[in-house]
Amino acid sequence: MRTLADLNAREKRVLVRVDYNVPLKDGRVADATRIRASLPTLERLLGEDAALVLMSHLGRPKGVDPAFSLAPVAEALAELLGREVRFVPSLPSSEETAEAVRAARPGDVLLLENVRFEPGEKKNDPELARAYARLGEAFVLDAFGSAHREHASVVGVARELPSYAGLLMEKEVKALGRLLHHPAYPYWVVLGGAKVSDKIGVIESLLPKVDGMAIGGAMAFTFIKAAGGEVGASLVEGDKLELALRLMDRARELDKPLLLPSDVVAAREIREDAETRVVPADAVPEGWMGLDIGPRTREAFASALAGACTVFWNGPMGVFETPPFDAGTLTVAEAIAALDAYTVVGGGDSVAAVNRLGYADRFSHVSTGGGASLEFLERGTLPGIEVLGGLSPEEVAP
């Protein structure tokens, strides 16, 4: 990829695609992790007296929706950056925005309104991409969490301007690339979350490369039901049962352990004060849901990981946001953090668990992109990498 080392930004107007898709609460940013992750790139460019025009999405608005405005993000960014950030409330493609940008001077920082307010953003509309391109003399993609999206503010505009990877983008690609190309063995992958369909590609891609996989979260019940287990009211993707069987058969062919929960914490409803039982994972009573891995499974997963030299973790082991169904996720976080190994975590709830325990500095890399990290590990590249001069899937294929 072309990087900031290739860009002379001095006194240029630089368009930067950041990932400020952050949680808001009561009109304020509730977690500024992604904003902080962008600061090294912004400070590097400001050190060259560039004028910065920042673009991001927030949430999944259907058209213009004040609830998804980036105005609160501008306030949080100004506080973290230690300088004024001018929020531009008009649509990014509008003449009003163009006028505000033309008035920018070296050292200025402007944050544009949510790019997903633009109807052509997700369609990668060429005219919209050209409108974005008129706002800068160079483009920097630093939104790794959006680099798997072929959207106008990610891929389209990069084809219209001299384009470069930001420091966060470069860091993510190097860290995840090590999992693909230079892992130390034994190498384990831990996957969780709700849906097998979200993880199919990465399971198929990594199974031949790893020593084993541990699967928790609701997605485990699709495998358990496919193998003939009784899962009660637990979440199952009924149209993925054959696929789950095929993945288990593939693991056996490769002689790779695919660990599934042996016991789960079950309840009739997702509530902090709900009655819970620990039951066999393949014998969940009717009307009950498995909502976290059980104590025997936690011990088995931690034991399997004990000798690992490389670990990739994506997805919670249960309904992490509702105690007491967070214990499995926290146990996995603690087990991985204790390893003397190359460890990478990605995905919102997994990262939240690491942050809650204060373990972020005990992981080798905490990725800002859940879906993007999975797609990168599946394909070896992303649309946002290719458009910056990175490798195509054909070039990285074994």
Q: What positions carry a catalytic annotation?
A: 34, 195, 348, 371
Beta strands (DSSP E) in 26-117 are: 28-29, 51-55, 86-88, 109-112
Instruction: Confirm if 237 and 196 have CB atoms less than 8 A apart.
Output: yes
Q: Among 139, 214, 130, which Cα is nearest to 169's?
A: 139
Element (DSSP H or E) covering residue 386: helix 383-386
Phi, psi of 180 (to 5 degrees): -85, -40
* Rg (alpha carbons) of the chain, rounded to whole number: 22
> Which token pair is 109?
């920082």
Q: For the chain, report the end-to-end CA distance as a whole number of angstroms.
A: 20
289 bridge partner residues: 267
Which three-class secondary structure string do you get for 187-247?
EEEEECCCCHHHCHHHHHHHHHHCCEEEECCCHHHHHHHHCCCECCCCCCCHHHHHHHHHH
Measured distance CA(220)–CA(180) in Å, rounded? 24
Measured distance CA(181)–CA(183) in Å, rounded? 6
Instruction: Confirm if 281 and 263 have CB atoms less than 8 A apart.
Output: yes
